[in-house]
Structure 1
Amino acid sequence: MAFLKALGSLLRDSGWTDVLVQAGVTTVGTADSFLSAAHVTKTRHAHQLTVCALYQLMNAAYEQYRLSCQALREKIMPVDEWKVVMTENSPTFHFWALIMQLEVLVRAFLSSVRSGDFMLYQQYIAKMVPVFFALDQHNYARWMSVHVNDMKKISAIESVSHEFQQGHFVLQKTGRPFSRLALDHAHEQNNAIVKGDGGAVGLSGNPAALGRWMVSGPEVARVIQEFQRTLSPPEKDSEKLGHHEQSLAFQVDFADNVTKIIDVIKEAGNPFAERTCDFLTLQSTEIISAATHEAMKSMLTTGMQQYTSFVEDRLKTKTKKFSDPIKRNNMVLIAGTKRKKKGTGTCKLSILKKNNSLFSRLYIACQTRPGGLDDFFQHENHSTPPSLSSEGQIRPGLKSRLMECLEQLSPPEAVRSDADVLILDGAAIVHMIRPGAAKTFRAYAEDVFLPHITLLLQTVSRLDVIWNMYRTDSLKKTAREVS
């Protein structure tokens, strides 16, 4: 869970949650909860979908590079060499390659626990520690370093190491494959059974009662589970069934969600095909600061240096106290950084690339079926109409410019109507009446605004003043962000 939170801190404001929402994988509120790992299972599933989508996007980018080299008769680099070159030249490629690497690390660590592979467990948990050091999560960094060091010492004890190699460092509650649990996870499940509906609340304040509960709790949980099995015996072959994610329905739904995520990302541009020197977010035209890119480049190296120094100075030579503070890195992440808009030239180039791809598909379609440009342009061919938006952002404008069009349709006529009710736009009246000698809002209201309203009220029996309300789902939200 802690590592998922660290991964969420890297992905915050990167556009990742927007992609999940637009792909229909989850809702807005649930997607935001993935950043803090509020629900571990759902968050882990979201990262699993993401890493599959990123892997396919990286392969698609390499295939595009290979085809372009063949067309230009240039030498084609091997995929590993191509990754190194793109990582050095493209900040966007480097960031999402790093995210994919960390998501694979999460899946590998989970696999080591679920399968009871002690060697893999040691290998991958040691790779997690530098990330905690780099992101200043010192509590986890400090005690996970101790845990990794203890696991190495246990490996030297033949009898204990043999048991751990057999998978006895985790717990197997059922006969299902790939379903083992970490010991702390199993304890939490037993505690939930013993507690019931608040049965163990308040025990932490009484040491004697807490001790009795800790001793008797697992046994009580076992008795409860045996009683439940007696009331509803399981099916004969239930222990031989496969993992729940091996069902056909789950696999089809998983593949469908991966395809949706890929389509949404491709619509904004494949991040692994980005060749600019700017660090761009998904689903946005924003450019991340260069300081964030430098922090991402040095994150794993800095974390590994701190981890190595911590183990050497505090666990081996003990030249420093274990409780001494650890130096903070204060890395500049995407969240909270000042961003700037993508340049006009870059935006136009991106639009031209999309249009080029669109007309290429149109040309291919016209070879096999009847149709023409007139039929093609009768339908929307962009998710966001270019007449109303630019790069997915609605075009700002002034309402006063509409008057030029409206005046041509309806020439003004000096006709006075006998009205009983007058409705005024409060904001328009404020902009129309000059404040004059008024220096404060109170003076403006008493000396300028209210007298004008009173004068107008003499000609009608009722006068209403309407004020704007800026709702969160209104188009005015974009105007406020621009201003």
Structure 2
Amino acid sequence: MANLQVEVPRPPAITGLLPLFRESAHTLAMVKHGMNLIKQATELVNPGQVPVLTVDQPLYAIAKKIQWTWPGIYGEDKFVVMMGGLHVEMALLKAIGSFLEGSGWASVMTSAGVTTEGRVDSLHKGSQISRSQWAHQVTVAALYALQRKAYDDYRKTCETEDLQSFDLWSKKMATKYPQFCYWNKVLQLECLLLAFIRSQREANYTLYVETLTAIIPWMFAMDHYHYARWLTVHVTDLQELSNDSMDIHREFVKGNFVTQKSSHKFSAMAHDQIHEQQNAYVKGDGGVIGITENEGALRRWMVAGAEIARILNEFEDQFQRQRQTDVRHHEQLPSVQKSFASDLNNAISSFEKLGNPFAEDSNDLYVLDTKVIMPDEVIAAVRSMEDTGKTQFDGFVGQRIKDPSDNFYDSISKNNLPLLKSKPKKTPGKSCDQDIW
């Protein structure tokens, strides 16, 4: 995608940390205090601007409660609260990993050398973001290549007058064959992940809102109800932003909803990701280890640590600008491209050894490596999960936000969809229990 970005990246932004709080941030009092300080700092630097606050999901929920409780001071027209893009990405990585668990995907990634057996669990949990991003990039390219190969085989055996386009053929196959349907949904989910990442790297606000909206039904379907609830609120706020704060909406459309930290292409990042990197500077070289028992030293570090990190950050940036004028994204380098091509070819080969899932013509859904056949309820869940999520999403918006007939904080019903990771049901027998599928 970096090759497609024609525009020259914007100048790097000035980033930094405010003095740190020692108290826990997950309280209404501390979030409210933080909002007051941010409002004061914004007014000092840019008088008249509506402050913008980016937080993770738990803090977002608290911030929204503050906005709804004191709308005259912290309402949507006086404060823009964003849910951190990095944390949304982590939640989506976890949802995709949960969907893939038990499918044999881990065996493919291991045999292809994309990851190791000791690290494969982190791909399912999305705990290692860079490794997970790489694995899903390799997977989506491999699955698309396998799907195109299956389509080419279909074209060779099909009469010209009956030949269907790739899209029509794909829809027909997904409707007819469970194995095709499952891996087509994997491809769809991973494309959604990459589109969401692209929206941030290119500072494309329209794409950002579209992908966020598309992510929410999957959160409902996969029972990630905290993100399902609050992402719905977040997207609603973004859709109403042009009415609540025209100036902020105009800046967001220009790409200022993310931060360009470097001069490289395809490198804009969400505010919470920038914050995590700033935290890494502060915590470098031991962080607070050894001074937590000294109250005075700890307080001096809390105040001065952020400033020291800023000075080091500016020095390193200036030094790099003097030495390097290459604006390419790091994944455009030949060594990275060569590594990706190698992993991709290995992944395609590993999939084909286990059987191209898009060439399967049986009515079964099975695990790639063990060939264990899933029961009918798993097939039904896979086919219906997107529609299930959309129905819940539409109902939540209609009944709790636009025309609230239910309490917003009422619990969201779990779907508990049986997927490939589901354990076999046990049926009691006379002598012992048997696992049946």
Matched with 1:298 is 384
RMSD (CA atoms): 2.8
Among 310, 322, 340, the residue aligned to 2:408: 322
Structure 1 gaps of 5+ residues are: 340-480
Normalized against structure 2, the TM-score is what?
A: 0.71
Matched with 2:335 is 249
Matched with 2:156 is 67
Matched with 1:76 is 163
Q: 265-274 or 210-219, which moves further after superposition?
A: 210-219
Alignment of 1:258-269 (within 5 A): 258-269=344-355
CA distance in 1, matches of 2:305, 2:190: 36
Matched with 2:283 is 195
CA displacement at 1:66 relative to structure 2: 0.9
Q: Identity of counterpart residues, as a percentage? A: 40
| 1:302-340 Cα shifts (integer Å, max 9, x gaps) | 11111111122222223222211011111001112439x
Matched with 1:270 is 356
Among 27, 32, 35, the residue aligned to 2:124: 35
CA displacement at 1:102 relative to structure 2: 0.4
CA displacement at 1:201 relative to structure 2: 7.4
Matched with 2:212 is 125
Equivalent residue letter for 2:416: N
CA distance in 2, matches of 1:9, 1:236: 45
CA distance in 2, matches of 1:229, 1:77: 54
Q: Does 1:18 align with 2:107?
A: yes
CA distance in 2, matches of 1:139, 1:238: 43
CA distance in 1, matches of 2:381, 2:298: 46
- On the 8 A contact 2:97/2:123 being kept in 1, the answer is yes
| 1:367-404 Cα shifts (integer Å, max 9, x gaps) | xxxxxxxxxxxxxxxxxxxxxxxxxxxxxxxxxxxxxx
Equivalent residue letter for 1:48: Q
Q: In structure 2, the residue corresponding to 1:258 is in which secondary structure? A: helix
- On the 8 A contact 2:367/2:420 being kept in 1, the answer is no
Relative to structure 1, the CA distance from residue 108 to residue 218 in structure 2 (aligned partners, 3 Å threshold; closer, same or farther) is: farther
Q: In structure 1, the residue corresponding to 2:255 is in which secondary structure? A: coil
Q: 36-45 or 212-221, which moves further after superposition?
A: 212-221
Relative to structure 1, the CA distance from residue 97 to residue 198 in structure 2 (aligned partners, 3 Å threshold; closer, same or farther) is: same
Q: In structure 2, the residue corresponding to 1:245 is in which secondary structure? A: helix
Matched with 1:356 is none
Among 226, 239, 247, the residue aligned to 1:159: 247
Matched with 1:51 is 140
Matched with 2:313 is 225
Equivalent residue letter for 1:303: G
Relative to structure 1, the CA distance from residue 252 to residue 196 in structure 2 (aligned partners, 3 Å threshold; closer, same or farther) is: closer
- On the 8 A contact 1:312/1:318 being kept in 2, the answer is yes
Among 346, 353, 369, the residue aligned to 1:283: 369
Aligned residue-pair number: 335
Relative to structure 1, the CA distance from residue 198 to residue 147 in structure 2 (aligned partners, 3 Å threshold; closer, same or farther) is: farther
- On the 8 A contact 1:134/1:303 being kept in 2, the answer is yes
Relative to structure 1, the CA distance from residue 259 to residue 321 in structure 2 (aligned partners, 3 Å threshold; closer, same or farther) is: same
CA distance in 2, matches of 1:219, 1:305: 49
Equivalent residue letter for 2:151: Y
- On the 8 A contact 1:12/1:35 being kept in 2, the answer is yes
CA distance in 1, matches of 2:310, 2:248: 26
Matched with 2:83 is none
CA displacement at 1:261 relative to structure 2: 1.0
CA distance in 2, matches of 1:140, 1:214: 31
Relative to structure 1, the CA distance from residue 77 to residue 323 in structure 2 (aligned partners, 3 Å threshold; closer, same or farther) is: same
